[in-house]
Structure 1
Amino acid sequence: MKRAKSCTGALALFLLSPLALAQSSSGQPTVTPELAPLVVTGTRTPTDTFFAPLIVDVIDRHDPTLRTASRVEDILADQPGLHVAGQGRRNGQTVSLRGFDRNGVLVRLDGVRQDINTGHLGNFFLDPALLREVQIARGALSSLYGSNAMGGVISFETVEAEDLLRPGENGGARLSLRGATASDELGATLSLFGKRDLSDGSSLDGLVALGRSESGDIRRAGGQTTPEDASLDSLLAKGGWQLTPDHRLFASWQHYREDANQPANPQSLTVEPDDMRDRDTTSDNLQLGHRWSPAVATQLDTRLTLSRQDIDESEAARTLQRLGVQSDGYHRLEHGWLSQTLAFGAAASHATQRPGGTASGFPEAEADSAALYLDDTLTVGRHLDQGGAGEFDLGLGARHDSYRAEDADGRESDKSRLSPRLRLAWRPSGDLMFYTGYAEAFRAPTLSELYADERHFGGFCMGPFVCVPDNFWVPNPDLQPETSKSWESGLAWSFGDWGLRASYFDTRAEDFIDTEVDIFAGTTRAVNVSRAQLWGYDVRLDWSPSSIPFTAFLGLAEVNGRDRDSGKPLGSLTPLEALAGLDHRFAGSDLTLGWRGRFARAFDKQGEDEALPGYGLHDVQLAWQVTPLLSASLKLRNIADKEWYRPDGNLGDGRSLLANVSLQW
């Protein structure tokens, strides 16, 4: 059953609307609002992402990839070395990065940790229509972000009023219509935003955005379909009061509610009719905060946060609630021949996990955590053309995390971890940098891994004389955190119209947490099992000539891994992958036509001997500012509808036309 049966026809109307309006365009120059500067994920300071000592990829809201996205898979699928598991359902989306699965990659929404962990369900509960920017920082980043930041950090930032207001405006509205043929989806988002200057010199600004979408069965690569019937309602309310140039109070509420009829395991492709169930997923993220900005190079954000996720089914329910307080800042000091850039902060939170009904693998438990971190970058020297030996950066940082968990039966787990980081960079000139660094990272066990004690699955008979009993989870409160030690080296080089970023990493991981199932004993428990080595590289090459209206880029990534004891492949590995792109800006118009190619070498399926073929996929996309008030974005993914697989064996996305038309007034 599908709710939205006319998506293809509606997309045709999306295309006709801007074509008709373009004929009556006044020809006025387009004013595209600039995104406000953001602290860069991976440094926690305002840094040029090109010359940051790690690989950071940024997707902003003007990119058709984000503008047309209806789910996280649409946003992240093009990132080399980053994989989204699942079969297109929002509830089943999880990621892997640099050899680490979902538990080793930290996800943040407006700075708030998103880490509910239950069965095959994911932790991406957000509407892409409300996003202004996505940053993907690769590498061991526990020295800044604590637990889970072993393979990297993915930060989602929602839109604000200043992102939509054009110069000279004090208010406005924006209506966005979107659709995707592969999920037979139609959606709309209405945003109201504005600002007001008060008589005392302060100012107020705010935004309210309401979204609604409905989708049906999902079409995967090669034409295979998997059942889905879902509706999504979203709300974003944000506001700020600029008391003085130095002080700002802000508040936000991000609400997500999806009602879906889908399989018990939303990551499955083939589903039996009796395996479908109704599932309501609700996520709320609230913030109250204060920002102090006494200088351009100084800022301190302090916020009180409440995050709550509820997953309700007919016979089971799961709730995770996290109340936290955090304060993060940066400050730059000049000492004549020496300068310092400090990033610092503290955080504390209380998380409560509550099961309902027959929920399995989601025990009643709670956890308290606290952290302090400091990162200091010292800069000294002059470039070679200024008579010096080059400019040098020495970065020293560490974060101390402690957590205490306890379940309903009083079983406790009390651990702490210090995550140091060391970096050295040399810039012989203003357009060339070499860097190297060492970092330690960790991942604390989840409450489910520590305390699950419910029935895992029922017993069954393999033959007339061989039967196995019911299988039950066994708690393991002595479970140790996963840890890793990483070396990473790279360069950033800007030469003429070209830009090159590259890095190589080598990670030694300890105490991977795995699930040990004993069929005949009827037990399942989480255990620390292995030592691993993970290594690979990331490369980004950009070409932006000023003389012709073309831009091009190439991204490469590969991750290899092995168990250091047995020598067997280990980790969420990545074959050699490439993402290539070419964009043409048409003269005299605000129209950009682009091509994207996604390529991968043949590889072995994770954990199995089965070989999966390589692939070459092609997309086309269009970004068009039809008039100052009307814009359109289109993306046609996997044009040939080629059948392809991710490293975990999941079937990739199929041919789909994604569209967005926005009218602002």
Structure 2
Amino acid sequence: MKRALSCSGALALLCLPPMAGADTTVPHDDLSPLVVTGTRTPIDSFRAPLIIDTLDRHDPTLSTASRLEDALGGQPGLSVAGQGRRNGQTISMRGFDRNGVLVRLDGVRQDIDTGHLGNVFADPALLREVQIARGALSSLYGSNAMGGVISLETVDADDLLRAGETRGGRLSLRGATASDEIGATLSVFGKTDTAHGELDGLLAVGRSKSGDIRRAGGQTAPDDASLDSLLAKGGWQPADDHRLFTQWQHYREDAHQPGNPQTLEPTDGTLRDRTTTSDNLQLGHRWTPTPTTQLDSRLTLSRQNIDEPEAERTQQRLGAQSDGYHRLDHGWLSQTLAFGAEATTATQRPGKQASGFPRADIDTAALYVDDSLAVGRYLDDGGVGRFELGLGARYDHYRAEDAEGRDSDEGRLSPRLRLSWSPSDSLMFYSGYAEAFRAPTLSELYADDRHFAGFCAGPFFCAPDNYWVPNPDLGPETSKTWESGFAWRAGDWGLRASYFDTRANDFIDTEVDIMAGTTRATNVNRAHLWGFDARLQYRPGDLPVEAFVGLSEVSGHDRDSGEALGTLTPLEALTGLDYYLVDHDLTLGWRGRFARAYDKGDEPQPGYGLHDLQLAWQVSPAVSTSLSLRNVADKTWYRPDGNLGDGRSLLANLNLQW
């Protein structure tokens, strides 16, 4: 029913004639329209007490991307694991791996746990924006948000409609030389006023085909894949303060690749067929009684299925959530309140001979509130500066149970405290404390099948078959983080930097006993993580250029053994220079990606310096193109996890709109 509503709503709009004299402007309030992931409220990102990076669809980095690595791989302090295959891409940030970084697609968490397979399935061609919020954010988002939150937002009709238009179409063609990829996305979109309110909708269908992936230095990761994607959205605004919306996002990849897609070559010398599908459905309501108050409520259904000849894994999640904010402003005193609740039930179903993916269910419920109180006047206005105090907390409860009746019942409170002082409108200092957690996955709690077959290493040494041992008493990982920083802007310059110190407890590790033939997830490690992020930007108003530098470093060790951790990142930098021509219709850009050498335990990792070139050209109102030449010198380099980075590749995107 939801699918039919999304598709029919979008298609019906295209058949309606444009309304004469229709007002196509979008109302704005006195707040910034950007809803910042780290605050859940519309706010000037300069005022957000954390480091946020944003990519939009006009940036060639995102507009030419065909996989997550293309879009996020150059971000300092963020690592995309794998060898370029979509099925093997997972994200690490601030010392936390895939389970400690929450990824959301249009507000729906993406967290299927399938061993070496990825947990994020999204076609970048359908994205309008990516926000990367760094830091402990469980007080707003609950489990997994220990190293940060990555929010992926898909495009809608208003993003594609030009001024004065009420309907249109768009054909996007794209390709990448490193993977011999070619693809296309066709979108139709529109909006119209009716006697019962405004209707809007979008329908986008995409397909791409790719082959073996060329990695750094010319090595090849065998792959043969085709991707089909669909995005259907529809909205109805019966009144100025009410909006109903629905959407369906579909992803299907058919691939011929190694059993472990994160390896360069298959360890057993064979490739297998794998079909990955992901569906995310939403039905929601937005209430905006005042320009400074909003409440979003939605029902969501997400389903991921990974099907192979000998194994099938399916996760389904049904949820209800409501998130809102309210702001009061009295000049020298203002208050912003963010609040919400959510409840979900998730099921995990194995098929055929799936290993490490037990039949189990988990129910979660959460409440959160976050209050920011700002008071005072700037020094120039005769005050002592503007102070802002933020207090927030979220309570999460989860109950998991497997087919044998073994259950795990836990609750967790995640508080957050922050204080900032702004002596002027152009300078802010902030400091804060936050606790975060991540619940163990169903696989970590209940896996009880065979992990791997026994083997003989010689005539006198043979190991038995190895089996998972369930651990329903496994506790959640937890962390306590202090973070301090500042933000400064003056004229053409802007600078933002922060330093964080994290004490993490009860890391979930996998203990393998070869002779006993067992594998078990246990809470063992205690970690100390620390590092910094900094962003410098230069935007001169009288010159057609823009430049920026981003820096990040994550250090740490096991607090018990003193050994270095495996998810650290060396000092990394992303630098860029853009030159604007033809009234900003043509932009030439350079990106530099640099990292310092460091020791990863007993494995020294070499440093690297990479150079990318890019172009964005609005040829005419109907034609635009983006080009990105990555790793121009085809330098051999390695990501912090030891995997080869991306090789030289030309990525291109051509858009035709009518």
Is TM > 0.5 for Structure 1 vs Structure 2?
A: yes
Structure-2 separation of matches of 1:34 and 1:616 = 45
Once the two structures are TM-superposed, the CA of residue 568 in structure 1 deviates from its matched residue by: 1.2
Residue of structure 1 in register with 2:157 after alignment: 161
- Could you tell me whether the CA contact under 8 Å between 2:332 and 2:377 is conserved in 1? no
Once the two structures are TM-superposed, the CA of residue 588 in structure 1 deviates from its matched residue by: 4.2
Residue of structure 2 in register with 1:639 after alignment: 632
- Could you tell me whether the CA contact under 8 Å between 1:33 and 1:165 is conserved in 2? no
Structure-2 separation of matches of 1:257 and 1:208 = 17
Helix, strand or coil: the match of 1:140? coil
- Could you tell me whether the CA contact under 8 Å between 1:185 and 1:214 is conserved in 2? yes
Aligned ranges 1:50-69 → 2 under 5 Å: 50-69=46-65
Residue of structure 2 in register with 1:504 after alignment: 499
- Could you tell me whether the CA contact under 8 Å between 1:59 and 1:135 is conserved in 2? yes
- Could you tell me whether the CA contact under 8 Å between 1:146 and 1:442 is conserved in 2? yes
Helix, strand or coil: the match of 1:462? strand
Structure-2 separation of matches of 1:425 and 1:152 = 20
1:488 aligns with 2:492: no
Once the two structures are TM-superposed, the CA of residue 288 in structure 1 deviates from its matched residue by: 0.1
1:398 aligns with 2:393: yes
Once the two structures are TM-superposed, the CA of residue 190 in structure 1 deviates from its matched residue by: 0.2
Q: TM-score, normalised by structure 1?
A: 0.94
Q: What residue ranges of structure 1 are gaps of 5+ in the alignment?
A: 1-30
Residue of structure 1 in register with 2:6 after alignment: none
Helix, strand or coil: the match of 1:269? coil
1:124 aligns with 2:124: no
Residue of structure 2 in register with 1:233 after alignment: 228
Residue of structure 2 in register with 1:207 after alignment: 202
Residue of structure 2 in register with 1:15 after alignment: none
Helix, strand or coil: the match of 1:531? strand
1:101 aligns with 2:94: no
**Equivalent position amino acid for 1:305 in 2:** T
Residue of structure 2 in register with 1:619 after alignment: 612
1:523 aligns with 2:533: no
Once the two structures are TM-superposed, the CA of residue 335 in structure 1 deviates from its matched residue by: 5.1
Cα offsets for 1:564-603 (capped at 9, x unmatched): 1121112510100001000000144610000000000002
Aligned ranges 1:162-177 → 2 under 5 Å: 162-177=158-173
- Could you tell me whether the CA contact under 8 Å between 1:540 and 1:554 is conserved in 2? yes
Once the two structures are TM-superposed, the CA of residue 550 in structure 1 deviates from its matched residue by: 0.7
Q: Following superposition, which runs of at least 4 residues in structure 1 exceed 6 angstroms of deviation?
A: 31-36
Residue of structure 1 in register with 2:590 after alignment: 595
Work out which of the residue numbers 39, 64, 72 in structure 1 matches 2:35: 39
Structure-2 separation of matches of 1:447 and 1:196 = 46
The aligned length equals 632
Residue of structure 2 in register with 1:554 after alignment: 549
Aligned ranges 1:650-665 → 2 under 5 Å: 650-665=643-658
Helix, strand or coil: the match of 1:275? coil
Aligned ranges 1:226-375 → 2 under 5 Å: 226-271=221-266, 274-334=269-329, 337-375=332-370
Work out which of the residue numbers 162, 175, 180 in structure 2 matches 1:179: 175
Residue of structure 2 in register with 1:28 after alignment: none
Cα offsets for 1:56-91 (capped at 9, x unmatched): 000000000000000000000110000000000000
CA RMSD of aligned residues (A): 1.5
- Could you tell me whether the CA contact under 8 Å between 1:231 and 1:260 is conserved in 2? yes
Cα offsets for 1:400-425 (capped at 9, x unmatched): 00000000000000000000000000
Structure-2 separation of matches of 1:98 and 1:661 = 35
Structure-1 separation of matches of 2:34 and 2:579 = 28
Residue of structure 1 in register with 2:579 after alignment: 584
Change (3 A) 1:549 1:364: same
Helix, strand or coil: the match of 2:61? helix
Structure-2 separation of matches of 1:586 and 1:285 = 40
Cα offsets for 1:90-141 (capped at 9, x unmatched): 0000010000000000000000000000110011201000000000000000
Cα offsets for 1:452-500 (capped at 9, x unmatched): 0000000011110111100000000000100000000000000110000
- Could you tell me whether the CA contact under 8 Å between 2:452 and 2:466 is conserved in 1? yes
**Equivalent position amino acid for 1:424 in 2:** L
Structure-2 separation of matches of 1:123 and 1:33 = 35
Structure-2 separation of matches of 1:571 and 1:205 = 47
**Equivalent position amino acid for 2:52 in 1:** V
Structure-2 separation of matches of 1:50 and 1:588 = 27
Change (3 A) 1:394 1:260: same
Helix, strand or coil: the match of 1:505? strand
Structure-2 separation of matches of 1:627 and 1:649 = 44
Structure-2 separation of matches of 1:419 and 1:269 = 39
Cα offsets for 1:380-419 (capped at 9, x unmatched): 0000000000000000000000000000000000000000
Helix, strand or coil: the match of 2:99? helix
Once the two structures are TM-superposed, the CA of residue 604 in structure 1 deviates from its matched residue by: 2.2
Structure-1 separation of matches of 2:70 and 2:648 = 12
**Equivalent position amino acid for 2:628 in 1:** K
- Could you tell me whether the CA contact under 8 Å between 1:101 and 1:571 is conserved in 2? no
Structure-1 separation of matches of 2:589 and 2:332 = 46
Structure-2 separation of matches of 1:640 and 1:351 = 46
**Equivalent position amino acid for 1:515 in 2:** T
Work out which of the residue numbers 619, 622, 638 in structure 2 matches 1:629: 622
Structure-1 separation of matches of 2:478 and 2:639 = 26
**Equivalent position amino acid for 2:178 in 1:** A
Structure-1 separation of matches of 2:26 and 2:655 = 14
**Equivalent position amino acid for 1:52 in 2:** A
Structure-2 separation of matches of 1:63 and 1:296 = 30
Moved more, 411-420 or 117-126: 117-126
**Equivalent position amino acid for 2:620 in 1:** T
Once the two structures are TM-superposed, the CA of residue 336 in structure 1 deviates from its matched residue by: 6.1
Residue of structure 2 in register with 1:473 after alignment: 468
Structure-2 separation of matches of 1:224 and 1:572 = 24
Structure-2 separation of matches of 1:362 and 1:273 = 22
- Could you tell me whether the CA contact under 8 Å between 1:100 and 1:571 is conserved in 2? no
- Could you tell me whether the CA contact under 8 Å between 2:414 and 2:434 is conserved in 1? yes
Cα offsets for 1:504-527 (capped at 9, x unmatched): 000000000000000000000000
Cα offsets for 1:291-316 (capped at 9, x unmatched): 00111211000000000000000111
Cα offsets for 1:326-372 (capped at 9, x unmatched): 00000002356432100000000000000001100000000000000
Residue of structure 2 in register with 1:3 after alignment: none
Cα offsets for 1:597-625 (capped at 9, x unmatched): 000000223xx402121000000000000
Structure-1 separation of matches of 2:248 and 2:590 = 37
- Could you tell me whether the CA contact under 8 Å between 1:515 and 1:526 is conserved in 2? yes
Structure-2 separation of matches of 1:460 and 1:91 = 28
Structure-1 separation of matches of 2:224 and 2:360 = 33
Residue of structure 2 in register with 1:451 after alignment: 446
Once the two structures are TM-superposed, the CA of residue 274 in structure 1 deviates from its matched residue by: 4.4
Q: What residue ranges of structure 2 are gaps of 5+ in the alignment?
A: 1-23
Change (3 A) 1:574 1:325: same
- Could you tell me whether the CA contact under 8 Å between 1:603 and 1:647 is conserved in 2? no
Structure-1 separation of matches of 2:267 and 2:416 = 49
Helix, strand or coil: the match of 2:217? helix
Once the two structures are TM-superposed, the CA of residue 32 in structure 1 deviates from its matched residue by: 14
Once the two structures are TM-superposed, the CA of residue 33 in structure 1 deviates from its matched residue by: 11
Change (3 A) 1:506 1:431: same
Structure-2 separation of matches of 1:175 and 1:399 = 43
Structure-1 separation of matches of 2:310 and 2:118 = 20
Residue of structure 2 in register with 1:75 after alignment: 71
Structure-1 separation of matches of 2:318 and 2:584 = 49
Structure-1 separation of matches of 2:644 and 2:551 = 22
